[in-house]
Structure 1
Amino acid sequence: MTDSPLHLAVIAGSVRDQRMSRAVAEWAAFRAATAKTEVELIDCAETDLPDDGGLRPGGSAASPVAARIDAADAYLIVTPEYNHSYPAGLKRLIDWHYREWMFKPATIISYGVQGGLLAAEHLRGVFAELHVVTTRRVVGLTRPWEHLGAVGFAPPDPVGEAFDAAVHELSWWATTLRTARHDRPYNR
């Protein structure tokens, strides 16, 4: 099990037209992919979730993306900051799943005029309730639209270096928690 590649889900959290999250998520997925890390992109804008009337505490009926979320060993969450928090589409994706998230790590890549760090902080509390370990390192992108070109998102080198450090921490947590889930499952 320790030799098998980590499965990383990169989640684009915005559903708005003319959004940045898809471009940033594609950049993150490309940069995070290695021989030891398989990456899958999940885009909230392309995810059909059931009507919220079917939401149940502790887990709801399976959604079309439940298996993809469950298969991941770790998550990179790409989120804008909207009104000092994260978007409703991302909240719906999180709320429709429970056990799929449990005992896995997440790193948050937030963006906005001031780097989107309030969105990241709001996500930490939500993920703590789902037994998700959020990494200490987050990547806050200030005005990322200034680095959007014909080939997509192309940030300056210091952003890439910060991202690499965050993914390194995420990989450590992913390996550690995958081993723990396998060797000592939490049964409560």
Structure 2
Amino acid sequence: MLTAFFLLAVLTSSSDAQSICEHPANLTAASGQFSSPGYPDNYPINTQCSWSITVPEGKLVRISFLAFDLEDDSGCGYDSLVIHDGDSTLDYRLLSACGSNIPRSTVSSTNTVLVVFTSDGSITKAGFSAVFTSEDAPATCGPDEFTCMTGTCVDVNATCDGVNDCGDNSDEYTC
């Protein structure tokens, strides 16, 4: 009887996790908060959740983490959180993270990001809690300058030269 109850509880929590993450959540606001399913309790196994975050036109999205605890793996091949600079998984990866170190704050180059959380079938942890805010886009650079993702400007000839002139390596991304 106890085994049947446990099995029912596991099946219920797994189906709840699937219904929570069945479709991408669309968050459209100047700011907000989101977290892994079940946070601060452990997230479920075999889960993929996506949040498409859009802030007002002309603004950029900043994602900051309040807490972060995912299964650790040097290549983040088990449980991971990925932030894409746009609304598709084909867009540039701003961040790929796992483990328990709180990731750095991340800023997009447009007003939309896609956040994808994935867990595998084994170890689960508390997950993450994050906030998003909108911020002004940096001033545009001159015609002979490249705009780094940090908002700084560097000479256009400094792109694709193998040197991290921007400080975030964005001058080397599309080479």
User: TM-score, length-normalised on structure 2?
Assistant: 0.29
Q: Pick the structure with more helix per residue.
A: 1
Q: Pick the structure with more strand per residue.
A: 2
User: TM-score, length-normalised on structure 1?
Assistant: 0.27
